[in-house]
Structure 1
Amino acid sequence: MRSVPAPRQKARFAPGFGQRSLLTVDTEEEFDWEGDFSASDHGLKHLKSIAEFQQFAENIGVVPTYLIDWPIASSGRAQEMLGDYVRRGTAEIGIQLHPWVNPPFEEDVNPYNSYAGNLPHALEREKFLRLQERIIERFNCTPQIYRAGRYGLGTQSARMLTDARVAIDSSVRSLYDYRPGGGPDYSQHPLEPYWVDDRHRLLELPLTTVFWGLLRHQGRWLFPRMAKLPRANGILARTRLLERIALTPEGVPKEAAIRGIDMAIDDGLPVLVLSFHSPSLMPGLTPYVRSEDDLDEFYDWLRGVYAYLEQRGIAPTTVEEIKASVIV
């Protein structure tokens, strides 16, 4: 899954599916984003903010996919709250593996091992299976989508997911390279969904990131090279030559996201995958939402982006609908 797939692996969808959007929420514990990784130093005080967000999502007709990790899956409050959403059909649950807070605890806790795919495969697999089992047991559902925390896929992650009968992975963050921190390189991966295996058992649904600007078609070659020069990519963006835009309210202005949506539509992407981290729903827990004003801007981003998606004819979708519509 770290390798760039062949063009023949591109997924096709049933006539009438058109172009849709999927909202994924990396639903996880609170921790110090600027500190060391810890197996125990975390909290879940933002759960009440998830309830407020869920009401917002229902009001705009969006069914969020909550990708939950071990602390969330082990929380009685989360079980009651998220379980109710699933029973009512207003949310879906997927799996997200943060290895440093997920038993068994056999590895050193450090940045390299925070990418689950860097662990010995037997340990990655055992952590995943314990998390999957807990979610099934606590939430009475069988999650069909996975995201590796920090987008940390490994060379054996695909086999792990197909063995566990998970239908969709959404760990690939196209156009990003995490090698400087010990992670995978997705800079050359495609933007559109594709099959990981020849038997069409595992669909990759990359998070949506696009290039915008006069040099967008040279972006895959130019952007990584400019990143080595101080402030070069910022200058390219300000001069409207080249900008990398991820569809997330975290660090991406609403106006930029709308430009990114236009590019994704023009490129014919069948599914636009939006994402954010659940602690951003409470001020002070992530670098993206420090204050109540930041939170207001966060919700304004969601409100404006979904209004624009509706204007462009991009309806929200769900994991179940994607599974039913992809041609195997």
Structure 2
Amino acid sequence: MRSLTEPPPRHAKAQFRPDFGQRFLVTVDTEEEFDWEAPLSRDGHSLRHLDRIHGFQQLCEAHSVVPLWLVDWPVATSPEAAELLRPSLESGRAEIGVQLHPWVNPPFEEEVSEHNSFAGNLPRELEEAKLTQLRDTIEANFGKEPLVYRAGRYGLGPNTAAILAEQGIAIDTSVRPLFDYGSMGGPDFRHFPLAPYWLDEERMLLELPLTTCFWGMLRRQGDLIFPRLWRMPAMRGVLARLGLLERIPLTPEGISVDEAIRGIDMALDDGLPLLVFSFHSPSLAPGHTPYVRSEEDLERLYDWWRAVFAYLQQRNIRPTSVAEIMQAVLRG
């Protein structure tokens, strides 16, 4: 089993059936509300936004999109969340996966700290125990076996892949290429590929990286230039404004529609078979994330998704689901 914290060899790249083409997947980090600017805590979180989940589910269904709700412990243990999502899960109009926020997920044996907020930094036994409790709770409360994992804060570690395989997880989607969380004690994904790849020689555990692209005249040199500007955000802004180099993650949080379309174009031009979008569920209600502070911000978020779905349709890029991905990926 390869480590999730190391870039894969080239031969690990996953291949899909020719009729799969280029597709996109919408993922939602479905989690509790907390103050993003305060130190992490096991207490002081809420779930007031859960009643807004239905609205986004409806938007997705109107565009034939099957969202992947990646659920963490507070949501997994919420009867309201189960009641809201169960009908869509049972009908195949939504899918569910695991998202591990270790600081709010039992067993509570570690100190709450930034280092320990990356689950992959925990002792193997504790990381496994937390994931096991969460996976089993999701299956019991939502009636579906979760087959996809995302580490909260993208916090993979050297033991994560083996733990996922032992827990029957088929897909990880925690790798965020072109981002480095090393200064906080997390992984460095700057040199990871965007295309899906296998984490084991048996081809049983698939990685679906979140999609982030470089755009601009210097984008082919982005891997060399961008890391040198890590502590120079003003210079990164100058390069973006001049159309020379810009890093664009496919998310409505902090990324405009125009930027997202540029990122989509770059991903498609590079032949990426799967575009993985993401955002946080608390952004579905005002006041819980830095990205949605008002009802006007929320409407802009929905407008973002409508515009992106329309552009993807214009480019003939169809939505996909975890079920379709597992059927289309070639294991031979």
**Shared fold per TM-score greater than 0.5:** yes
The answer to whether residue 199 in structure 2 is matched with residue 196 in structure 1 is yes
Query: Could you tell me which of 66, 72, 75 is aligned with 1:72?
Result: 75
| Residue identity in the other structure for 1:292 | E
2:301 alignment partner in structure 1? 298
1:312 matched residue in structure 2: 315
SS at 2:25 equivalent = strand
Q: For 1:51-70, list aligned pairs within 5 A.
A: 51-70=54-73
Indicate whether 1:14 and 2:7 are aligned. Answer: no
Q: Which residue of 2 aligns with 1:131?
A: 134
Aligned AA for 1:121? R
The Cα offsets for residues 224-280 of structure 1, whole Å up to 9 and x where unpaired, read as 102222501000000000000000000001100000000000111111000000000
Q: Is 1:170 aligned to 2:173, yes or no?
A: yes
Q: What CA distance in whole angstroms lies between the structure 1 residues aligned with 2:111 and 2:174?
A: 23
TM normalised by structure 2 equals 0.98
Question: What's the counterpart of residue 52 of structure 2?
Answer: 49
1:86 is matched with 89
Deviation at 1:56, TM superposition (A): 1.4
Write the distance in 2 (CA, Å) between the matches of 1:68 and 1:230: 32
Q: 5+ residue gaps in structure 2? A: none
C-alpha separation in 2, matches of 1:279 and 1:217: 35
- The structural deviation recorded for 1:15 is 1.4
Once the two structures are superposed, the pairs formed by residues 154-169 of structure 1 within 5 Å of their partners are: 154-169=157-172
Between the aligned partners of 1:32 and 1:186, the Cα distance in structure 2 is 26
Measure how far apart 1:178 and its partner are.
Answer: 0.3
SS of residue paired to 2:19: coil
* 1:267 lines up with 2:270 in the alignment: yes
Q: Which amino acid aligns with 1:313?
A: N
CA RMSD of aligned residues (A): 0.7
User: Which segments of structure 1 move beyond 2 Å, counting only runs of 4 or more?
Assistant: 227-230
Say how many residue pairs are matched: 328
Q: Structure 1 unaligned runs (5+)? A: none
Match of 2:184 among 171, 174, 181: 181
CA distance in 2, matches of 1:94, 1:290: 27
Aligned equivalents of 1:93, 1:59: Cα separation in 2: 19
The AA in structure 2 aligned to 1:112 is H
Q: Give the aligned partner of residue 258 of structure 1.
A: 261
- CA distance in 1 between counterparts of 2:182 and 2:285 reads 30
Report sequence identity in percent: 57
Q: Say which of 8, 14, 34 aligns to 1:31.
A: 34
- Whether 2:311 is the aligned partner of 1:326: answer no
Aligned-partner SS, 1:16? helix
C-alpha separation in 1, matches of 2:116 and 2:324: 34
Distance in 1, matches of 2:151 and 2:231, equals 27
Q: Residue 39 of structure 2 aligns to which amino acid in structure 1? A: D
Q: 1:152 aligns with which of 155, 166, 170?
A: 155
Instruction: Give the direction of change, closer, same or farther, for the CA distance of 1:102–1:170 in structure 2 (3 Å limit).
Output: same
